[in-house]
Every structure is written in structure tokens, then in C-alpha cells.
Amino acid sequence: MIKITDLKADKIKDCRGKWTIEAEINGTKGAAPGGTSKGIYEAKEIDVEDALLLINGSLKEKFMGREFTQESFDNELKKTDESQDFSNIGGNTSTALSFAFFNHGFALKKSSFPFPLVNIFGGGKHGGFSDIQEFLIMPHEAKSFAEAFETSRQFYNAFKSLAEKRGPVGRNIEGAVTANIRQEDVFDMLLKVAEDMPAKIGIDAASSELWNGEKYVYKNSGTELDNGEQVDFMKEIAETYNLFYAEDPFDQDDFTGFSELKKKIGRRTLVCGDDLTVTNAERLKMALDKDAVNAMIVKPNQIGSVTLALKAVEVAKSAGVINVMSHRSGETSDSTIARLAVNWETPIIKIGLADTDIAKMNELVRLWNLAEKPEMAKL
Ligand code: 2PG
Ligand code: MG
């Protein structure tokens, strides 16, 4: 139990330059991240100035002097909100407070560390020419988190050098390389770098952003695919490039598409829900009924609290679904997700190489040094 003796909030900037909420409980901070390619079933955010008025006013009054566990604190936030999706007090308000509470009581409980799944080349809503939002790598042979971090960075540098030989390159909000390179060539370049630096390759197609209600529209490659063609396309790239991970290969409402693809590639590839499952135990159960996923993105701000995210994580674990802790594209130096990943034993953490994500990587290096007999997750 933690007695609340101080509770307040102020605003800080995220890596996109947007204001977000940084809450503070008994001197410990927690900040809400924000998404850019958000799912429609996520917890709703409210205006930051309104959130600050709320936290520093009625929420402070409500919580001060009382004792809570993480669960009772988060339940009280949910009860105060009275909606299904945090549209009254805001999922950003509740996440910042829930993170601050978690960080205040944090103690390292586990010693199995997640493999970083790192965004190397990107596009979509995060900026860049690519239709596929993220091309990811996971240094699966690393023996320590520091080694995994080092390999990821070297991989990024080597990939960037290859890209620079072909023309101008940039960097998007997640720190991923951007360049006008065809997606087939990006895969080939990733495979080339992986010959020297062992890593598995994956994608986040962020397909809800490609879906126009009838077709998946790949603007830069000039193609439009219907549902069946999207299944074939995803299967083809998974097989050709030996993908171990495919996130959001279909729109957020298309459980059937996920399930058809999982039937075809699920034995060798993680078919991962993000906008589909939104860290929501109920949405995950719907996905399980349809046998739609074998991995799930865990973004606590999609559901609005640590406790609600843990619920989904537990449902996933008991169904044998791999939990993938994840950053958002709008991050601050808050490193709560690094601590959650270790204590919840998510075997993967999806992350970028923007400075705000380096903070989380560094936190994992520090936790490794604190842990008793740390080891990389078994995957
Ligand atoms: C995603 C995330 C993080 P956003 O789609 O998985 O990479 O992006 O935070 O913009 O939803
Ligand atoms: Mg995603």
C-alpha cells in the first residue's frame, strides 16, 4: 500500500513536439506517451490543459491522504471516469498517473529480459516514403541486453550507410531511416546487413492506415490490394524474406484476415495484433476466438492503466500469445515500459532509436545490472 501525500501534474513535450502530461506522485514521475497511427478502439485522450486542471484540482483532492495498491489506484481512476474508453478523464490523464504510481512503488521482480525489436526503416504516418510503416530487426543471438542494444545500433548504422549509397536519407519521428527505396530493396538490404549482424526481420504494416474501406492502398508502390490479395501479399513477403514478425497485417476490424494469414504463416511467424487488440483483454479474447493472433502489442496507454494492461497481458500469457511491450511514436524520456517489460516478462520490447527510446534502452541496461542472474528471454 502506498499513501498518497502529494499528487500533481505539469506538461512536457514529446518527441513529436506535442505537449503531454507528466504526473507526479509522492515525488515520482510518470508521463503519458502518444500515438500517431492510433487505433479507433484505443482509450481516448483529452486536451492536455484540461487534464492538468483535472489532476491538479479534483483528482488531487480525491486521492490525497488515501492509501492504494496499484490495482485499487487504477480502479479508482476507472471508476472516476465512468466511461468505457476513458473519454471523460482521458486515457492520457490516467496513464500518466498510473505510470507515476507504478514508478513510485517499483521494485525489480524478475530477471528475464526482453529482446529489443527495433525500428530501422520507416514510413507511413511516422514520416518517410515507405507504405509499410516499420521495418524491424531483433538481434536474437544477443546474450545480454547491452549486447542486443549494441547490435541494434550497429545494424542501424550499417543499414543507413547502405541507404546513403543510393541517395538522400532522413530520420522519422521514431528515429527510423527514411529514404525513397522500394520495399523489396529495403528487405534485401536488411537481409544483407543481417549476414554480418545476426538479426531476425519483421514489419509493422500498420494496415488500418492503408485500408480505405475497400482496398489496401500502397501509394508509393502504386498498388491496391483487396482482402484476398493482401493475404497473398503478406504470405509472399513473410516467405520470401523469412519474416519472424508481422504486426497489423490487416485493418483493425478484420479478424478474418488475421486468422487466414495466421493459418498460412503462423507456425513460423508471429502474427501480431496492435490496432486489432489495443491492449484490451476483451478485444484479445475476440481475437483468440477467431484464432487471429499469436502475438500481441502491449501499450498501456491504449487501455489507460497499468492494471488494465496487465489484464490483457495475463490473458495473452495463458493463451500462449507472445506479449510485445511497445513504445509509442510520441515518446518522452519516461521509461516505465522498460520496467513493466521486465516485471511482466514480456519476451520482446518494440522500440526505436530516437533519443526518447534510448532512455528506455538505457533503463534496461541499468536493470540488467541490478538483476540477480539476468538472462535474455527464451523465445
Ligand atoms: C505502432 C506504434 C509504435 P503509434 O503502430 O506500433 O511504433 O506507432 O504510436 O503511432 O501508434
Ligand atoms: Mg503498430
Residue 7 sits in the same domain as residue 68: yes
CA atoms of 97 and 21, how far apart (whole Å) = 9
Among residues 69, 104, 139, which one ends one of the domains? 104
- DSSP per-residue codes, 223-276: EEE-HHHHHHHHHHHHHHTT-SEEE--S-TT-HHHHHHHHHHHTTTSEEEESTT
pLDDT of residue 136: 98
Decide: 265 and 234 in contact? Cβ < 8 Å.
yes
Residue 21 sits in the same domain as residue 68: yes
Mean pLDDT score across all residues of the chain: 98
pLDDT of residue 285: 98
All 3 cell numbers of residue 49?
A: 490543459
Kindly list the catalytic residues.
174, 299
Under the banding of pLDDT at 50, 70 and 90, the label for residue 127 is very high
Ligand 1 pocket mutation, candidates 299, 301, 302, 349, criterion most atoms within 8 A of CB: 299
Distance from the CA of 63 to the center of ligand 1, in angstroms?
32
- Report the candidate in 18, 16, 188, 4 with the shortest Cα–Cα distance to residue 100: 4
pLDDT of residue 56: 98
Ligand 1 pocket mutation, candidates 134, 174, 270, 301, criterion most atoms within 8 A of CB: 134
Residue 127 sits in the same domain as residue 158: yes
The DSSP symbol for 377 reads P
Distance from the CA of 150 to the center of ligand 1, in angstroms?
23
pLDDT of residue 6: 98
pLDDT in tens, 36-94: 999 999 999 999 999 999 999 999 999 999 999 999 999 999 999 999 999 999 999 99
Q: What is the CATH number of the domain that holds 221?
A: 3.20.20.120
- Is the distance from the beta carbon of residue 36 to the nearest atom of ligand 1 less than 6 Å? yes
Mean local confidence (pLDDT), 131-136: 98
Dmax (CA) of the chain: 61
Q: Which atom of ligand 1 is nearest to the CA of 352?
A: 7
Distance of CA 4 to the CA centre of its chain: 30
pLDDT in tens, 302-334: 999 999 999 999 999 999 999 999 999 999 999
β-partners of residue 298 are 325
Among residues 85, 104, 123, which one ends one of the domains? 104
Residue 8 backbone phi and psi in degrees, to 5: -155, 175
Name the region of 320 (left: φ>0; alpha: ψ -120 to 50; beta: rest): left
Residue 97 sits in the same domain as residue 231: no
Residue 190 sits in the same domain as residue 93: no
- The dihedral over CA atoms of 76, 323, 302, 293, expressed in degrees to the nearest 10, equals -120
Q: What is the CATH number of the domain that holds 6?
A: 3.30.390.10
pLDDT in tens, 92-109: 999 999 999 999 999 999
Residue 82 sits in the same domain as residue 220: no
Decide: 178 and 123 in contact? Cβ < 8 Å.
yes
Residue 132 sits in the same domain as residue 99: no
Residue 83 sits in the same domain as residue 118: no
Q: Which atom of ligand 1 is nearest to the CA of 39?
A: 11
Among residues 104, 121, 144, which one ends one of the domains? 104
Residue 24 sits in the same domain as residue 123: no
Distance from the CA of 372 to the center of ligand 1, in angstroms?
32
Residue 233 sits in the same domain as residue 258: yes
Q: What percent of the chain has pLDDT over 90?
A: 99
The DSSP symbol for 203 reads E
pLDDT of residue 67: 98
All 3 cell numbers of residue 91?
A: 486515457
Residue 220 sits in the same domain as residue 140: yes
Q: pTM for the full model?
A: 0.98
The DSSP symbol for 277 reads T
Element housing 196 (H / E)? helix 183-196
pLDDT in tens, 344-371: 999 999 999 999 999 999 999 999 999 9
Q: What's the structural domain count of the chain?
A: 2
Q: What percent of the chain has pLDDT over 70?
A: 100
Mean local confidence (pLDDT), 213-217: 98
pLDDT of residue 203: 98
Under the banding of pLDDT at 50, 70 and 90, the label for residue 120 is very high
pLDDT of residue 189: 98
pLDDT of residue 34: 98
| Beta-strand relationship, 200-204 and 177-178 | unpaired
pLDDT of residue 21: 98
Q: How many CB atoms lie within 10 A of CB 19?
A: 16
- Is the distance from the beta carbon of residue 235 to the nearest atom of ligand 1 less than 6 Å? no
pLDDT in tens, 216-257: 999 998 999 999 999 999 999 999 999 999 999 999 999 999
Residue 159 sits in the same domain as residue 98: no
Element housing 36 (H / E)? none
pLDDT of residue 29: 98
Residue 79, domain extent: 2-104
